[in-house]
A and B are shown apart, each in its own frame.
Chain A
C-alpha cells in the first residue's frame, strides 16, 4: 500500500468514509483494486475539511492511474435516479465510448468500449456493494483489459431539489499494446469523460433526451445531424 492515501471524505448518506483513493494507488502498483471503508470514529488523519476525498489537493492524478470524482444534482427523486443508474445496459445511451453493456447475471456485466481505429476493448465488472437508493460500487474482475473500480452514491438534495449523484472512479491501463490503446482512450483526460457522461445522464433523466447541438454550418466536415465540438 505504498503511497496509498486514505481519503477523509464524507459519505453523505451513511456516514461511512470512502477511501477509494487507496484503490487508485493500488491499481498503479499493479495490484487488485481495493475499496476500504472506515466506520467513523477518531482518525489519525489531520485534515479538517468537510469535503469529499476526491477534492483533496493530493488526490492521485496523472497518466498512470487516476481518481475521478464528480457530483451532479438531478431534479428527480432519489430512488428513480438510482434505478436508472442500476440498469447498466442503458449506459451506452449517455456514455460516449461505451458501445454495449451486457448482463452476465445479476452482479456481472460485460462492457464493450470503443477504442481508436475501429477497435474495441472489453472488460467485465462485478457489483461489490449495492444499497438500493443509496449506492452502487463495482470493480473490474481479473482478466479485464482495463483495471477499474467505481462507486455511484445517491443522496437527497436540499428539499425540492431532487438527488445528488456522486460518481467516484479509478482506473489504470494494463501493460502492452492494448494498454497503450486504452491509455490513449482514457488517460489523457479521464475526468473530462466522466464529467461529460454525467452531464448526459442528467440531461437524459431531466429532459428525456441527450442534448445535442447538431445543426448546419459552413464547415464541409460536419453533418447537421451530428454533434459538433
Chain B
C-alpha cells in the first residue's frame, strides 16, 4: 500500500510499504477514507518529538471502513468508523477511570521504557506518533491496523459524511476537553491562545459549555477571522500587548480561564521565545513555552489554566511564582478521546457543533509532502488539511472551490 512516511526533519515522503495484518484477536483493519494532518504532526515535521525513526508512517486523525476483523473484535466488515488517536485497552485502572490516554497497556513492553525514564511513568499508545507512544504505524496510508478495536472505534451512522465526523479522532475532543478542563462558571471569560484547529474547537466548546465571553489570540488574520466566526472576540498579538489588552477587556480582573492551544513551538518575536528557539536548535533545551508563560501571567487570581497544547520535555524560565502566588489550577494532558467521542457524535448529528468550517484543503495521499510544507509555511491559508486516499494526485480542493460546486 501507499503510505506517508517520516524520514527526518522536514523530510516527509510517500512510500510503498507492506499492508497491515491482524496480529491480535481484538484487532481490526480499516481501509482509510479520510485522514488529516494535525498541528502536532508539525512537531514531528520540525523534529521536536524524540523517538521518531526514519520510515515511520504518520497520521493519527483517521477514519475508514472496516475490512478485516480479529476473532474478538466487536466490529463488522463494512462499518464506517472513526479511530481515536489514543490507543486504549479499556480494562486497566486508568481506562476504568476514563483516563483513556493514560492507558497502562497500550504502549508495548518493547517501547514503554523511554517514556518511563523521561516522564516517570510510561505513556499510553497512540497512532503514528513516535516510539515514545508505542511506535504504532499511523493512518496517513491506505490501510491501518487498529488494536483493541472493541474499545476505541466510534461507529458512524449512515448519512454523516466523513468531513463532519473525522475530527472526532482528535482535534474536536481535544478542543472539548480543553474547555471542560476550564471548569467554566456563569459569567466566565475564557481566553484561548492559538486559533489552530484545537483552539477553534476549544472556542466553540467553551461557548457550548456556558462561557460568557471568549477572547482568542493569534497573529494569522484568517485564523482570527475563523475564531470571530465562532463568536470570539479576537486579539492579534502583533497589534496589541496581550496581557494589557486582556486586563482592559476584563475590567482589570483578567480572564477566568486560559487555554494554551499553542504548545511547544510558540511563534512571536519576544525575547523569551528567541532565547528558547536558540536553545532548541543548539540542543540546550527542548520546549518553547512562550505562550504558556503568558497564559499564567494573564490568568486572573484563582483562575484556571488548561493546556491541550503539546509539550515534550523541559521548560526554562517557567513562572512558577505567578502560578503559586495567584493560586491557579492547572489541568492538562493528552485527550481521553474515548470518554467524549459518542457524546460529541450525538451533538454533531443534532447540528450543535460545526466541524467543517476550518477545513481549507483536501488532497490525495500522494500530495502529502507538499501539504506538510504548506501546513508548516503558510498557516494563514492552510487552516486544516484532509487527505483522501481515493483522490487523484494533484487534485487539490480548497474549501472555496467546494463551496462554489455546492452553490
| Interface footprint category on B | 35 or more
Nearest CB on B from A70, distance (A): 11
Nearest CB on A from B141, distance (A): 8
Chain B CB within 8 A of A196 CB: yes
Would you call A208 and B25 a contact (CB within 8 A)? Answer: yes
Chain A CB within 8 A of B111 CB: yes
Would you call B91 and A213 a contact (CB within 8 A)? Answer: no
Would you call A213 and B125 a contact (CB within 8 A)? Answer: yes
Would you call A227 and B110 a contact (CB within 8 A)? Answer: yes
Would you call A224 and B18 a contact (CB within 8 A)? Answer: yes
Would you call B25 and A211 a contact (CB within 8 A)? Answer: no
Chain B CB within 8 A of A175 CB: no
In the complex, which residues of chain A have a beta carbon less than 8 angstroms from the beta carbon of B89?
Answer: 203, 206-207, 211
Chain B CB within 8 A of A104 CB: no
Given A211-B107, A213-B111: A218 and B3 interface contact (C-beta under 8 Å)? yes
A-B contact pairs, 22 of them (CB 8 A): A75-B96, A192-B113, A196-B112, A197-B109, A200-B109, A202-B92, A202-B104, A203-B105, A206-B92, A211-B105, A213-B125, A213-B134, A215-B145, A217-B56, A217-B137, A218-B55, A219-B53, A224-B20, A224-B145, A227-B108, A228-B135, A229-B111
In the complex, which residues of chain B have a beta carbon less than 8 angstroms from the beta carbon of A207?
Answer: 26, 89-92, 105, 148
**Please, how many angstroms separate the alpha-carbon atoms of A202 and B57 in the complex?**
28
* Contacting residues of chain A (172-229) with chain B, CB-CB under 8 angstroms: 192, 195-197, 199-200, 202-203, 206-219, 223-225, 227-229
Chain A CB within 8 A of B347 CB: no
Chain B CB within 8 A of A162 CB: yes
Which one of A75, A206, A212, A223 lies within 8 Å of B18 (CB-CB)?
A223
Would you call A212 and B19 a contact (CB within 8 A)? Answer: no
What 4 A-B pairs have minimum CB-CB distances, sorted nearest first?
A: A215-B137, A218-B55, A196-B109, A219-B55
In the complex, which residues of chain A have a beta carbon less than 8 angstroms from the beta carbon of B19?
Answer: 216, 224
In the complex, which residues of chain B have a beta carbon less than 8 angstroms from the beta carbon of A129?
Answer: none
Would you call B113 and A216 a contact (CB within 8 A)? Answer: no
In the complex, which residues of chain A have a beta carbon less than 8 angstroms from the beta carbon of B104?
Answer: 202, 206
Contact flags B43-62 to A (C-beta < 8 A → 1, else 0): 00000000001111100000
Which one of B13, B55, B147 lies within 8 Å of A217 (CB-CB)?
B55
In the complex, which residues of chain A have a beta carbon less than 8 angstroms from the beta carbon of B145?
Answer: 214-215, 224
- Total A residues in contact with B, Cβ cutoff 8 Å: 33
Extra A-B contacts (11), CB below 8 Å, given A211-B147, A217-B57, A228-B135: A161-B93, A162-B93, A199-B109, A199-B112, A203-B89, A206-B92, A207-B89, A207-B92, A214-B23, A216-B57, A218-B13
In the complex, which residues of chain B have a beta carbon less than 8 angstroms from the beta carbon of A217?
Answer: 5, 17, 53, 55-57, 137
In the complex, which residues of chain B have a beta carbon less than 8 angstroms from the beta carbon of A75?
Answer: 91-93, 96
Would you call B105 and A212 a contact (CB within 8 A)? Answer: no
Contact flags B114-128 to A (C-beta < 8 A → 1, else 0): 000000000001000
**Please, how many angstroms separate the alpha-carbon atoms of A73 and B17 in the complex?**
38
Chain A CB within 8 A of B163 CB: no
Nearest CB on A from B100, distance (A): 14
**Please, how many angstroms separate the alpha-carbon atoms of A228 and B145 in the complex?**
14
In the complex, which residues of chain A have a beta carbon less than 8 angstroms from the beta carbon of B131?
Answer: 229
**Please, how many angstroms separate the alpha-carbon atoms of A218 and B18 in the complex?**
8
**Please, how many angstroms separate the alpha-carbon atoms of A213 and B27 in the complex?**
11
CB nearest to B127 among chain A residues: A215
**Please, how many angstroms separate the alpha-carbon atoms of A223 and B125 in the complex?**
20
- Identify which of A73, A200, A216, A219 gathers the most chain B CB atoms within 10 Å of its CB: A216
Would you call A211 and B108 a contact (CB within 8 A)? Answer: yes
Given A161-B93, A203-B105, A207-B148: A216 and B3 interface contact (C-beta under 8 Å)? yes
**Please, how many angstroms separate the alpha-carbon atoms of A195 and B107 in the complex?**
13
Nearest CB on B from A159, distance (A): 12
- Identify which of A195, A200, A207, A214 gathers the most chain B CB atoms within 10 Å of its CB: A207
In the complex, which residues of chain A have a beta carbon less than 8 angstroms from the beta carbon of B108?
Answer: 211-213, 227
Would you call B109 and A211 a contact (CB within 8 A)? Answer: yes
Would you call B109 and A218 a contact (CB within 8 A)? Answer: no
**Please, how many angstroms separate the alpha-carbon atoms of A55 and B106 in the complex?**
27
Would you call B25 and A209 a contact (CB within 8 A)? Answer: yes
**Please, how many angstroms separate the alpha-carbon atoms of A100 and B239 in the complex?**
70
**Please, how many angstroms separate the alpha-carbon atoms of A215 and B62 in the complex?**
15
Would you call B21 and A225 a contact (CB within 8 A)? Answer: yes
**Please, how many angstroms separate the alpha-carbon atoms of A125 and B163 in the complex?**
60
**Please, how many angstroms separate the alpha-carbon atoms of A224 and B143 in the complex?**
12
Which one of B5, B24, B137, B141 lies within 8 Å of A212 (CB-CB)?
B24
Would you call A228 and B110 a contact (CB within 8 A)? Answer: yes
Nearest CB on B from A156, distance (A): 14
In the complex, which residues of chain A have a beta carbon less than 8 angstroms from the beta carbon of B106?
Answer: 211
* Contacting residues of chain A (52-90) with chain B, CB-CB under 8 angstroms: 73, 75
Chain A CB within 8 A of B72 CB: yes
In the complex, which residues of chain B have a beta carbon less than 8 angstroms from the beta carbon of A161?
Answer: 93
Given A206-B91, A218-B3: A224 and B21 interface contact (C-beta under 8 Å)? yes
Chain A CB within 8 A of B1 CB: yes
In the complex, which residues of chain A have a beta carbon less than 8 angstroms from the beta carbon of B15?
Answer: 218
Would you call B109 and A219 a contact (CB within 8 A)? Answer: no
**Please, how many angstroms separate the alpha-carbon atoms of A207 and B72 in the complex?**
11
In the complex, which residues of chain B have a beta carbon less than 8 angstroms from the beta carbon of A223?
Answer: 18
Would you call B18 and A216 a contact (CB within 8 A)? Answer: yes
In the complex, which residues of chain B have a beta carbon less than 8 angstroms from the beta carbon of A197?
Answer: 109
**Please, how many angstroms separate the alpha-carbon atoms of A199 and B113 in the complex?**
10
**Please, how many angstroms separate the alpha-carbon atoms of A213 and B129 in the complex?**
12
Chain A CB within 8 A of B136 CB: yes
In the complex, which residues of chain A have a beta carbon less than 8 angstroms from the beta carbon of B147?
Answer: 211-212
**Please, how many angstroms separate the alpha-carbon atoms of A73 and B104 in the complex?**
10
Contact flags B170-196 to A (C-beta < 8 A → 1, else 0): 000000000000000000000000000
In the complex, which residues of chain B have a beta carbon less than 8 angstroms from the beta carbon of A162?
Answer: 93
CB nearest to B134 among chain A residues: A213
Nearest CB on A from B127, distance (A): 9
In the complex, which residues of chain B have a beta carbon less than 8 angstroms from the beta carbon of A208?
Answer: 25-26, 72
